[in-house]
Structure 1
Amino acid sequence: MSKVIKYSDEPIGDLKLVTDFLPSPEELSLKKENTKVTISLSSESVVYFKEVAKKHHLQYQTIIRTLLDEYVAHQKRR
């Protein structure tokens, strides 16, 4: 930063206190409780999920987990 900032002692004006409207960190947490499992998938499926993950800058396990979660939610709605 080569530009120097000059501060003044001028009045800011009328201030208004705003109530805290943001959710708590606990409410922001999207992480669900997960259970680790071991599963064998076809090489073709793993390659596909890894390619999709790379394209979207995600982990392939996250995509598989989301896919399964969506499937379960769909089945529960039936």
Structure 2
Amino acid sequence: MSAKIKYTNEPLGDVKVVCDFLPPPEQLAFREEGVKVTLALSKKSVDFFKAEAAKHHTQYQRMIRRLVDAYVANYDPPPTSPSTRTTRKRTAG
């Protein structure tokens, strides 16, 4: 591990720029507000998630929550920004 690295001043060749796809740290630290719900699921579904959660060393409730969140992220339209147009007051007349 003590061997020195020798750098040379050679052309890099084919360089490809990769766009930044990682979320900023503030999005990683943000935790959405949770809402407790009572939900009746089939025994088959719960058994499936419990088995998969055990394989991946996680909680089955967390897997179900992530599944629902992924569904919402896919089908929920992005929020529209407020209109930048100004509205004029109507005059009586």
Cα RMSD (Å) of the superposition?
A: 1.9
Which ranges in structure 1 are unaligned for 5 or more consecutive residues? 1-22
Deviation of 1:29 after TM superposition, in Å, equals 2.3
Higher relative CO (Cα under 8 Å, sequence separation at least 6) belongs to: 1
Runs of 4 or more, structure 1, over 3 Å off, are none
| Matches of 1:52 and 1:31, distance apart in 2 | 24
User: Which residue number in structure 1 is paired with residue 63 of structure 2?
Assistant: 63
1:32-43 equivalences under 5 Å are 32-43=32-43
Q: How many residues align?
A: 53
| Matches of 1:49 and 1:72, distance apart in 2 | 19
| Matches of 2:72 and 2:66, distance apart in 1 | 10
Q: Which amino acid aligns with 1:37?
A: V
1:1-78 equivalences under 5 Å are 27=26, 28-77=28-77
Which ranges in structure 2 are unaligned for 5 or more consecutive residues? 1-24, 79-93
Assess, with a 3 A threshold, how the Cα gap between structure 1 residues 51 and 66 changes in structure 2: closer, same or farther: same
Sequence identity (%): 51
Higher alpha-carbon Rg: 2
Higher helix share: 1
Assess, with a 3 A threshold, how the Cα gap between structure 1 residues 39 and 48 changes in structure 2: closer, same or farther: same
